[in-house]
Amino acid sequence: MNAEIISVGSELLLGQIVNTNATFLSKELAELGIDVYYQTTVGDNEQRLYETLKQAHSRADLLIITGGLGPTKDDLTKETVALFVGEELTYHEESLRSIEGYFQRRKREMTPNNRKQALIVRGSTALSNHFGMAPGMVVSYENKAIVLLPGPPKEMKPMFKNELVPHLTKLLGEQVSSITSRVLRFFNIGESQLETELMDILEAQSNPTIAPLASDGEVTLRLTVKHPSEAERLRLLDETEEQITKRVGAYLYGYGETTLFEQLFLQLRQKGCTIATAESFTGGKFSAALTSFSGSSEIFRGGTVSYATDVKEKVLGVSKRVIDEYGVISHHCANEMATCAKETYQADIAISFTGVAGPNPQEGKEPGTVYISIAGFATSPLSFELLLGGGREAVRERAMKYGCFYLLNELKRWNKSE
């Protein structure tokens, strides 16, 4: 079975809102094992919507249309679908009563255009809207299903999950329960390098299929397996994962919807390890990311954003000798920053960042030059040097992710003493 998603709304074509509905529906359908080959966005225009419907119906088994069910004269999705399938619109009594009740409870006058929201295509199955007024509907036409959902995500999402999915599951039967996906997340390896390392595996594989995806300096591999037996699905996934990690396991940091920072947060908490920071060009980004998790006060002590050079010396305590001799963009300065932060904030470990965000060079070092140091794991701090590409924000973002990745690797080997 394959589906096609049609988003209706001129605000989408004007770029006034981001189409998160298409993303949500695609993801949910993928998890149900339904392939999506096309997403189309079309404005509040009857003729173009009709053409889009006709084409989608000719090539997909299931059409999901969002938007254009509201009360205004711009909203013409159900009118167009009714025209396409050659049916009339009729009032859905339950929805009409529910809309009238809404206005009565709020003691507001119900304008006539609100009645329009209770219209559905004759013969269709209405889908209740518990977060808004317009019902959705499933229209059967030539052995295919055309589903209409409201545009606002807070109405569309619960209607999809609670009203439509049970309906689809009946239509799909076994197919849904015979698919499992697993996402592996990698850092510090590019998409092309990952693909080169795994070329023969990628080419030979058909079940599970392996889909690489690069974004924000990370690469993921989505493994999707089809088999009636759950045990066999897991076995196949484990087998393929093992083949992959044998070669590139050093870059694997997590599974599914996680992030580097979530993994770091979980590792720190699990090991009872407290942390402090000293950030220069990252300006507090690392601390901000780590404190985004509820419970971060258990592991995060605090940090200094030592931005100005004299602040590194006078507030944080980096020695004047190191700054004069090696400059602030150096291994030495990074090491002292980490050591001072660990001391000042009385933490088990501390991480520091110093570097050139750009666009201009500093101390003769080019933009993208980064030093990261970690104190607390060994008698001396461990420091790392990077040369990162991209603009100012990209350099800052990637530097903080590298710091996170280095910390994660060290933490795996570390156990709290005392």
User: 91 to 110, contacts with its own copies by CB under 8 A?
Assistant: 102, 105-106
**Contact code string over 351-390 relative to its own copies, x by CB under 8 A:** ------xxxx--------------------------x-xx
Q: What is the DSSP string of 206-217?
A: -SSEEEEEEETT
Structural element, H or E, at residue 253: strand 252-255
Complex with its own copies: residue 171 or 311, whichever CB lies closer: 311
Query: For residues 342 and 349, is the Cβ–Cβ distance under 8 A?
Result: yes
- Does the footprint of its own copies cover residue 343 (CB under 8 A)? no
Complex with its own copies: residue 62 or 124, whichever CB lies closer: 62
Q: How far is the CB of 377 from its own copies (least distance, A)?
A: 21
Q: How far is the CB of 36 from its own copies (least distance, A)?
A: 5
CB neighbour list of residue 15: distance below 8 Å, 6 or more residues apart: none
Q: How far is the CB of 246 from its own copies (least distance, A)?
A: 20
Calculated CA dihedral for residues 34, 35, 39, 44, nearest 10 degrees: -30
Complex with its own copies: residue 243 or 291, whichever CB lies closer: 291
- Does the footprint of its own copies cover residue 233 (CB under 8 A)? no
Q: What is the CA radius of gyration of the chain?
A: 28
**Whole-Å CA distances, 357 to 160, 362, 396:** 44, 9, 6
* Member of 300, 353, 371, 402 binding its own copies (CB under 8 A): 300
Q: How far is the CB of 170 from its own copies (least distance, A)?
A: 23
Residues of span 248-277 touching its own copies by CB under 8 A: 277
* Neighbouring C-beta atoms of residue 200, cutoff 10 Å: 9
H helix runs in 3-45, sequence order? 10-13, 20-31
Q: In angstroms, rounded to a whole number, what is the distance separating the alpha carbons of residues 224 and 180?
A: 6
* Member of 172, 311, 317, 384 binding its own copies (CB under 8 A): 311
Find tokens 């949910």 and name the residue. Answer: 28
**What φ, ψ does residue 342 adopt, rounded to 5°?**
-60, -45
Q: How far is the CB of 19 from its own copies (least distance, A)?
A: 6
Q: How far is the CB of 37 from its own copies (least distance, A)?
A: 6
Query: Reduced to 3 states, what is the DSSP secondary structure of residue 75?
Result: coil
Find tokens 């990628």 and name the residue. Answer: 202
- Does the footprint of its own copies cover residue 286 (CB under 8 A)? yes
Residues of span 168-197 touching its own copies by CB under 8 A: 191-193, 195-196
Complex with its own copies: residue 302 or 327, whichever CB lies closer: 302
Calculated CA dihedral for residues 14, 18, 22, 26, nearest 10 degrees: 150
* Member of 71, 98, 128, 175 binding its own copies (CB under 8 A): 71
Q: How far is the CB of 97 from its own copies (least distance, A)?
A: 16
Residues of span 1-40 touching its own copies by CB under 8 A: 10-20, 22-30, 36-40
- Near its own copies by CB under 8 A, which window of 212-220, 231-239, 374-382, 406-414? 212-220
Closest by CA to 39, choosing from 50, 27, 31, is 27
Q: What is the DSSP string of 160-199?
A: IIIIIHHHHHHHHGGGGGGEEEEEEEEESS-HHHHHHHTH
Complex with its own copies: residue 211 or 250, whichever CB lies closer: 211
Q: How far is the CB of 269 from its own copies (least distance, A)?
A: 15
Cis peptide upstream of residue 367 (ω within 30 degrees of 0): no
- Near its own copies by CB under 8 A, which window of 172-180, 301-309, 318-326, 409-417? 301-309
CB neighbour list of residue 196: distance below 8 Å, 6 or more residues apart: none
Complex with its own copies: residue 316 or 382, whichever CB lies closer: 316
Q: How far is the CB of 231 from its own copies (least distance, A)?
A: 25
Pairing label, strands 62-66, 144-149:
parallel
- Does the footprint of its own copies cover residue 396 (CB under 8 A)? yes
**Contact code string over 39-58 relative to its own copies, x by CB under 8 A:** xxxxx-x--x---x------
Complex with its own copies: residue 136 or 368, whichever CB lies closer: 368
Residues of span 107-146 touching its own copies by CB under 8 A: 111, 113-114, 131
* Neighbouring C-beta atoms of residue 359, cutoff 10 Å: 9
